[in-house]
Structures are given as C-alpha cells and as structure tokens.
Chain A
Amino acid sequence: MKNTFRLSMTWLHTWTGLLLGWVLFAIFVTGTATYFKAEITQWMQPELRRGDSPVDAAAVAWKSLEERAPESTRWFVGLPDDRATATTAFWQPGTGGKRSGSATFDPVTGEVVTARESRGAEFFYRFHFQLQLPHPWGRYLAGVAAMFMFVALISGVITHRQFFKEFFTFRPGRTSLRSFLDFHNVTAVLALPFYFMISYSALVIFMAMYMPWGREVLTDAQARAAGAVRERGGQSGAEKKAGGVEKKPWVSPAPVGPMLEEVARRWGREHPTVKRMDVTERGTEKMVVTFTRAEAGSVSITQREQLRFNGATGELLPEEKKMGGVATEVHGTLYGLHMARFAGPAMRWTFFLMGLFGSALVATGLVMWTIKRRAKYAKAGRFSFGHGLVERLNIAGIAGLFVAMGAIFWANRLLPVGMDARGDWEVKAFLYTWAAMLAHAVVRPVLAAWREQLWAGAVLFTALPVVDAVTGPFLARAWADGNAAYLGFHVTVLATGAMLAVVAWKVSRIGAGRGRDGERKADAARERKSRPAEEAV
C-alpha cells in the first residue's frame, strides 16, 4: 500500500480509527457506564427498596410468579444485592401459549413495583451493542465496529511503536497536536491489554451471528447422520411430532421453602448470598430449580457456584459435571472478562477507568485527525467537505453524547412520575438532545460549538445532584442510610462534570482571541520538521 510496512499500517490505523470512530466512541462510553448498570438503575428508580435478605426476596418472588405466571414453564429471577435494589423476573410462556412476560417486584412485599417507569441503565446496556437500530442490524454494526477497533489496535501498535519508548513523556500545553498525541499515547499504553481483550471478546460474544459457518457445517453433518439412522429404521423427532402433541399431565412443583432453607444454610441469608433463581421444565418430572451464588469469585461465566434442586421432589441434585473443554473455558473467561460481572468494587472501578481511557483514546484519535489536516486546508485556503464533516461529527459525537446522557438523567428526575410511556420519553430525551447537538455543531463555528457543548455537558452533570435533591427525598435518604451505590453515582456524575468543565476551559483558552490557527500552522510545520516519523499519523 505505502512504501514501508509501518507507513501502510499508519494509513490503516488512521482510516479504521476514523470510519467508525463515532460509533466506537458511543459504544465505549455506554459500555463503560454499563459496568455500573445496577447502580445507575438504582438511581433511576429510587423508589425501590432493597430488603435485607435475598433469600426472603426469592421466596416472595416465587409466590408472585405462581400468581402471575402459573402455567409458565421457565422462570428467570434476578435477586437484589448491594448494587441492585429490585427483584427482576422474566418468564416464558407455558403450554397454554400465553405470552412471555417480565416484571420488577418489590423484594419485601412481592408487589409489582410502583417505581417511576424507567429503562434505567438497561438503555445504555442495550445501546452499547444494538445502537437503537432494528434487530439484527445494530448487532452487526457493533460487530463491524469491534472488528475495526481490533484492526486499529494492531495497526496502531505498529504505527506508534515509539509510544512504548516514550511512555513517560507527556507535554501538556506544548502544542495542541503534541499534547493530543501524548494523551493518545498514555491512554493507549495504560490499558492496551484491556482494549485487545474488550474488542476480541466483543466479537466472540456474538460470534454465532458473525461467524456461524462452523456451527452450520457440523449441524449439517449431524443432520445427515440422523438421516442415516432414520433410514436404518429409527424414528425421527418429526415423525414423533406428527403423531400428535401429547399434552403431558401437570406435575405440581415442590414447595420452595425447604430449598431456600438449604441455600441459606450453605450461603447465608444476608448479602452477599444468592443472586439468581432460575426454574426450567416447570410442571414436569424434569423440573429443575437452580440457585446461583452472588460474587462467584470466578471470572468465567461458566464457573459459577450453583445449587440445583429437583423441582418435582425438592431434593438437592448432585453437582453438574462441567461438560466443556478448554475452548468452553476460554470462551467463558472472555465473556466474563468483557462483562466484568465477577468484579468486586475495586476491580469494577478499574474496569470503569479503563473504559474511560478507551473513550479518551478514541476521542483524541478523532480530534487529531482533524488537527493534522486543518493546517493543510488553511494553507490551501479551500474548504474541504470531508474535513468539515469530520470536525462537526467529532463535536456532536464526543461532546454531544455527554449532553445527551445528561439529558436522560435530567428527564428521569423531571418528567412526571405517573406519565404514560415514561421510559420511552427518557430515551427520546436522549435521542432528541443528541440530534439537537448535531444540528448545533453544524450551524456554529467549530471552536464555539465545542466550547458550548462541553459546557452544556459540564453543567448538566454537575447540577444533577442539585436536581435530585430538589425533586425528591431520595438523596437525603441515601445519605442517611449510607447507601454507597446511590452516593457513588453522584460522585461519578460530579467527576464527569468536572472533567467536561476542564476540557471546556482548555478549549475556551484556545479560542481566546489570539490567532491560534496561524500559530497552530507554525506549530504543525515545526512538528513536521522535527519529527518526520510522525508525518503520517
């Protein structure tokens, strides 16, 4: 492609980084927020109470589900812990063909909760891999973005080999390009293994969608084998079905009380104890009730500590043999690392910070692309549509995203609690605000648009605790109870607001009257003379 391997990789790094950079940035920021999904949701539905004992919450949920989904064959129940308040339940239709459903229960009373309707951080979680696009296109786009990121990382390491040598050079304020490059470098080196892990595991998590061919070919082979068996006189499933569906008699489930006593005896009654209660094959001889322990202490999603009971008799089943081999373990570990559900508070904050570094990595890369090229267009005295487009998309994609996230939190506190389709309106607040930021970025001069949107974001985030205190008793109550998750949310939004304010202030200084553009051009020329190697970043 270019004269040397490294220049080719520089070109590849530039374009894989740019083309889906804004999508990647949004994925990174929402994904980083998702590390605190339970805490954010708790803040967005502050009316919920946690209750003291997940074991009792499980008993309550069992009773509620017997009333609400009596014929259902599968129940999935997530129980409250020190991060999440409510009990969340999801059930699949039974033989009666009723629709599946989901509900959030109060852990103490078992009533369907009367909290304000909100999607909470579920919105960020879904957006992270579906981008509000119709299924399956959002997941495909997220997969393509993950692949771009993976390639950008590989080519970036080759491009910026000196980064690893120059890791301890950070020259703030020397010239804008230099300090951006230094910042890009620091954030890259600090969490490089995390970026490789996160992009590769993103591909692996949905690989059945992205790379189904191995599965297909083995299924074909199996189907053929089954066909051969059939020819030798075996009976296929299809023939069995054709003989009419037999409605099996309903086997009443054993009471859940003794099972929960056993769970409490082994894992304790108070937090942290049981985190999930899942019921399969309900109403048959094969019914199984599985309890999963909180903080299983293992990274892999396949290695959770569980207790399984025969749902028809109530007896404890022997531990399941793990069927999987090495590949299943690797896959489970990658999946587990990506989601970080195993992480305790310190580890979770570490992941969160690495997510923030990743967001900054993408953002600085995008901004550098425009700075690098600005001087060239200024010198030629012509307007470039492509360059202008990237400038504007950077503003709306980076600063505008924070404004939109601030808007969803404000909407959560300001929309009337009893409003119809309230959760949808919160999401609309996010999307409309983001669209408004794009329009704003197009009509305002570049530096002014950056400044205004960054300040808007800073104000929205910094003032959020005030809005919370004014609109309800929840902040005061959390303070009195010492609710760490709730207060931690406030500390995090304040820190985010402060960060946006610092960046906004820096941008304001660039725009402070002096003909900075000319200066930047001179800087760029000096940079080029002094460091020919960085020429093609």
Chain B
Amino acid sequence: MKTSRWAIASRALAAVLGGYALAAGVNVALALALKNSGPREDVILLATMPAFLVWAGAVVWVFAARTAWRAWAGVAIPSAVIAAAVWFLKSGGAAS
C-alpha cells in the first residue's frame, strides 16, 4: 500500500492550499450574500464560522478521492463556482 511521495505532496497541497482557498471563497461569498440580513458583526460571524467546516470537508475529500485528478477537481470546481458567485455578488448583487 505504498503511495508515492509526489502523490502525497500533491494531495497535501490540494488539501491545505486548495481547501483553504475554497473556505476563504465561501467566507467571502457568504459575507456578501448575507450583507443586508443583520448587524455587520453578526454577518461576519455567520459567514466565517462555517468556513472551517468547509476546509475540513475539503481535506477529507482530497484524501478520500480515488485519483489525484478527482482530488484536485473536487476542490477546484467548487472554488470556481464560488469565485463566480463572488464576482456576481460584487458587481451585480452589490447594487442592493
């Protein structure tokens, strides 16, 4: 059951950096989406607390995925979707 060092390094990168990027994206998207739903401090807390759960979930996904390809895709695709949502909220959605 030896896994090559490169494979482990690649997944660790996906888990640590990719997972963090995804969590940060969710953090920003939630903050923008909930901007008008309450006091600012409350919104920040509401947007930040789940981010760590997203990160932990991403780490589990990355190391559970069958192939390195799927591991990366599982982080990259949601990150892209979130980035698009952030862009939309910042430009169109921010007019509210």
Q: How many A-B residue pairs have CB under 8 A?
A: 106
User: A150 touches which one: B24, B32, B52 (CB < 8 A)?
Assistant: B52
Closest CB in chain B relative to A14 CB, distance in Å: 11
Chain A residues contacting B9 (CB-CB under 8 Å) are none
Name the residue of chain B whose CB is nearest to the CB of A328: B42
B residues 3-51 touching A (CB-CB < 8 Å): 3, 11, 23-24, 27-28, 30-32, 35, 38-49, 51
Chain A residues contacting B48 (CB-CB under 8 Å) are 204, 207, 211, 214-215
A1 near B52 (CB under 8 angstroms)? no
Q: Is A326 an interface residue (CB 8 A)?
A: yes
Known: A1-B11, A8-B63, A330-B45. A221 touches B94 (CB 8 A): yes
Rounded to whole angstroms, the CA-CA distance of A221 and B43 in the bound complex is 13
Range of interface residues on B (Cβ < 8 Å): 35 or more
Name the residue of chain A whose CB is nearest to the CB of B60: A154
Known: A211-B51, A221-B35, A330-B49. A1 touches B43 (CB 8 A): no
Chain A residues contacting B44 (CB-CB under 8 Å) are 214-215, 218
Contacts A/B (CB < 8 Å), 21 sampled: A2-B1, A3-B1, A8-B64, A9-B60, A11-B63, A150-B52, A151-B59, A154-B56, A200-B52, A207-B49, A207-B52, A210-B52, A213-B24, A217-B90, A218-B40, A218-B44, A221-B35, A323-B41, A327-B42, A328-B39, A328-B41
Most A CB atoms within 10 A — which of B31, B63, B65? B63
Q: Is A331 an interface residue (CB 8 A)?
A: yes
Closest CB in chain B relative to A337 CB, distance in Å: 14
Chain A residues contacting B3 (CB-CB under 8 Å) are 1-2
A325 near B28 (CB under 8 angstroms)? no
A residues 130-178 touching B (CB-CB < 8 Å): 147, 150-151, 154-155
Chain B residues contacting A5 (CB-CB under 8 Å) are 64
A12 near B59 (CB under 8 angstroms)? yes
Known: A211-B27, A221-B35, A324-B39. A150 touches B46 (CB 8 A): no
What 0/1 pattern do residues 54 to 80 of B give for CB contact below 8 A with A?
A: 011001100111000001000000000
Most A CB atoms within 10 A — which of B38, B40, B49, B59? B49
User: B49 touches which one: A7, A147, A331 (CB < 8 A)?
Assistant: A331
Q: Is A494 an interface residue (CB 8 A)?
A: no
Rounded to whole angstroms, the CA-CA distance of A7 and B46 in the bound complex is 34
User: A1 touches which one: B24, B31, B49, B65 (CB < 8 A)?
Assistant: B65
Chain A residues contacting B52 (CB-CB under 8 Å) are 147, 150, 200, 203-204, 207, 210-211
Chain A residues contacting B27 (CB-CB under 8 Å) are 211, 213-214
B46 near A326 (CB under 8 angstroms)? yes
Rounded to whole angstroms, the CA-CA distance of A266 and B96 in the bound complex is 48
Chain A residues contacting B65 (CB-CB under 8 Å) are 1
Chain B residues contacting A324 (CB-CB under 8 Å) are 39, 41-42
User: A214 touches which one: B31, B59, B63 (CB < 8 A)?
Assistant: B31
Rounded to whole angstroms, the CA-CA distance of A8 and B42 in the bound complex is 37
Closest CB in chain A relative to B52 CB, distance in Å: 5
A327 near B43 (CB under 8 angstroms)? yes
Known: A9-B64, A211-B24, A214-B31. A147 touches B45 (CB 8 A): no
Most B CB atoms within 10 A — which of A200, A211, A330, A536? A211
User: A328 touches which one: B45, B51, B60 (CB < 8 A)?
Assistant: B45
A residues 169-208 touching B (CB-CB < 8 Å): 200, 203-204, 207
